[in-house]
């Protein structure tokens, strides 16, 4: 049975356990922190079920490098707990991010997607921009973008 999922704003500190365990395993906590975590324009979302935080996503104000003059949000720190993968937590988080971008009148949302996650982002309307590139210590990525107003 699909669990009921609640998405709401959380603090940067609340994102850290999942960021560390899923995205930066066996690395010091400093590696899991983003410089923009505390900025007023940054928003962190958590996906909960039964009171447990099972997915996270962070949106920060940053221009797409290929489109430097346009207001944009960068999606970072997207992760769901391994035990709930494929149950809609990631989708619920991305839908909240798209809704937030629309409410904020931000026309563009982008991310550096792990190549293994490209299919997930495609399902939510993202498209690839440019060639695959390597992120040191993490692996291959593609830049992806979506226009929230069209979703």
Ligand X SMILES: CC(C)(COP(=O)(O)OP(=O)(O)OC[C@H]1O[C@@H](n2cnc3c(N)ncnc32)[C@H](O)[C@@H]1OP(=O)(O)O)[C@@H](O)C(=O)NCCC(=O)NCCS
Chain residues binding ligand X by CB under 6 A are 22-23, 78-80, 85-91, 113-114, 116-117, 119-120, 123
Residue 48 Cβ vs ligand X, minimum distance, rounded to whole Å: 13
CA distances (Å), 23 to each of 10, 20, 86, 129, in order? Answer: 18, 6, 17, 23
Residue 78 Cβ vs ligand X, minimum distance, rounded to whole Å: 4
Whether residue 151 contacts residue 109, with contact meaning beta carbons closer than 8 Å, is answered with no
Residue with smaller CB distance to ligand X, 27 or 85? 85
Residue 31 Cβ vs ligand X, minimum distance, rounded to whole Å: 15
Query: φ, ψ for residue 80 (rounded to 5)?
Result: -125, 155
Residue with smaller CB distance to ligand X, 57 or 108? 57
Residue with smaller CB distance to ligand X, 119 or 136? 119
Whether residue 125 contacts residue 131, with contact meaning beta carbons closer than 8 Å, is answered with no
Distance linking the first and last C-alpha atoms of the chain: 27
Residue 30 Cβ vs ligand X, minimum distance, rounded to whole Å: 19
């Amino acid at each position: 049975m699909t669990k009921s999922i609640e998405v709401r704003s959380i603090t940067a500190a609340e994102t850290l356990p999942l960021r560390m365990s899923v995205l930066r395993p066996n690395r010091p906590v400093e590696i899991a922190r983003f410089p923009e975590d505390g900025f007023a324009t940054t928003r962190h979302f958590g996906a909960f079920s039964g009171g447990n935080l099972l997915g996270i996503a962070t949106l920060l104000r940053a221009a797409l490098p290929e489109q430097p003059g346009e207001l944009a949000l960068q999606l970072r720190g997207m992760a769901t707990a391994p035990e709930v993968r494929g149950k809609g937590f990631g989708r619920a988080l991305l839908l909240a991010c798209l809704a937030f971008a629309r409410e904020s009148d931000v026309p563009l949302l982008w991310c550096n997607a792990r190549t293994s996650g490209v299919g997930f982002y495609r399902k939510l309307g993202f498209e690839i921009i440019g060639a695959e590139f390597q992120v040191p210590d993490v692996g291959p990525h593609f830049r992806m973008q979506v226009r929230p107003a069209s979703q």
